Structure 1
Amino acid sequence: MISPVDRQLIALLVDGRFHSGTELAGALGVSRSAVWKHLQGLSELGIEILAVSGKGYRLATPMDLLDSERIFAYLHHRASGLLTGLEVHGLIASTNTYLHELAEQGVPGGLVCLAERQTAGKGRRGRQWVSPFGRNIYLSILWRFQGGPAAIAGLSLALGVATIQALRQLGAHDVGLKWPNDIYWRQRKLGGILIEVSGESDGPCHAVAGLGLNVDMSTKQGEAIDQDWADLVAVLGGSARPDRNRVSGVLLNHWLPVLAEFEQRTLVDYIEDWREVDCMVGKTVDISIGSLAHRGTVAGIDDQGFLLLTDANGELRRFASGEVSFSKS
Structure 2
Amino acid sequence: MTTRTAVLKILADGEFHSGTDLGQAIGVSRAAIHKAVKALQGSDIQIQSVTGRGYRLFGPCDMLDQRQILERLSVSIPQQSLHILHEVDSTNQFLLRKSREQDISGHVCMAECQRQGRGRRGRQWWATPYNNIMLSMAWRFAAGTNAMAGLSLAAGVAISDALEAYGVDGVSLKWPNDLIWQQPGGDESIRKLGGVLVDVQGEADGPALAVLGIGLNVRLHKATAQHIEQPWVDLHTMMNETIDRNRLSSLIIDHLHSMLQRFESDGFFVFKKEWERRHFYTGKSVLLQQAQQTVQGKVLGIDQFGGLRIEQVSGQQTTYHAGEISLRRAP
Q: Please report the TM-score for the alignment, with normalisation by the length of structure 1.
A: 0.92
Aligned twin of 1:56: 54
Letter in 2 for 1:200: E
CA RMSD of aligned residues (A): 1.9
Q: Which runs of 4+ in 1 moved over 6 A?
A: none
Q: Matched residues in 1 for 2:215 and 2:162: separation?
A: 14
Q: Which residues of 2 match residues 185-204 of structure 1 at below 5 A? A: 185-186=181-182, 187-204=190-207
**Secondary structure at 2:273's aligned position in 1?**
helix
Which residue of 118, 125, 142 corresponds with 2:121? 125
Letter in 1 for 2:4: D
Q: Matched residues in 2 for 1:206 and 1:257: separation?
A: 17
Q: Does 1:207 align with 2:203?
A: no
Aligned twin of 1:273: 274
Letter in 2 for 1:195: V
Aligned twin of 1:30: 28
**8 Å Cα contact 1:297/1:311 also seen in 2:** yes
Q: Matched residues in 2 for 1:291 and 1:94: separation?
A: 32
Q: Matched residues in 1 for 2:78 and 2:295: separation?
A: 42
Q: Matched residues in 1 for 2:330 and 2:41: separation?
A: 36
1:156 is displaced (CA, Å) by 1.0
**8 Å Cα contact 2:311/2:318 also seen in 1:** yes
1:55 is displaced (CA, Å) by 3.0
Q: Matched residues in 2 for 1:12 and 1:82: separation?
A: 28
The more displaced of 311-320 and 201-210 is 311-320
Q: Matched residues in 1 for 2:180 and 2:168: separation?
A: 11
Q: Does 1:233 align with 2:248?
A: no
Unaligned runs of 5+ in 1: none
1:130 is displaced (CA, Å) by 0.6
Q: Matched residues in 2 for 1:15 and 1:55: separation?
A: 15
Q: Which residues of 2 match residues 1-329 of structure 1 at below 5 A? A: 4-76=2-74, 79-81=75-77, 85-186=81-182, 187-236=190-239, 238=240, 240-322=241-323, 323-327=325-329, 329=331
1:272 is displaced (CA, Å) by 1.1
Letter in 2 for 1:306: G
Q: Matched residues in 2 for 1:328 and 1:43: separation?
A: 42
Q: Matched residues in 2 for 1:49 and 1:266: separation?
A: 47
What is the count of residue pairs matched by the alignment? Answer: 323
**8 Å Cα contact 1:161/1:270 also seen in 2:** yes
Cα deviation code 1:74-110 (max 9, x no counterpart): 101xx22588600000000000111112223343311
Q: Matched residues in 2 for 1:281 and 1:51: separation?
A: 50
**8 Å Cα contact 1:21/1:56 also seen in 2:** yes
**8 Å Cα contact 2:128/2:219 also seen in 1:** no
1:138 is displaced (CA, Å) by 0.5
Structure 1 residues 292 and 249, CA gap change in structure 2 (3 angstroms):
same
Structure 1 residues 295 and 261, CA gap change in structure 2 (3 angstroms):
same
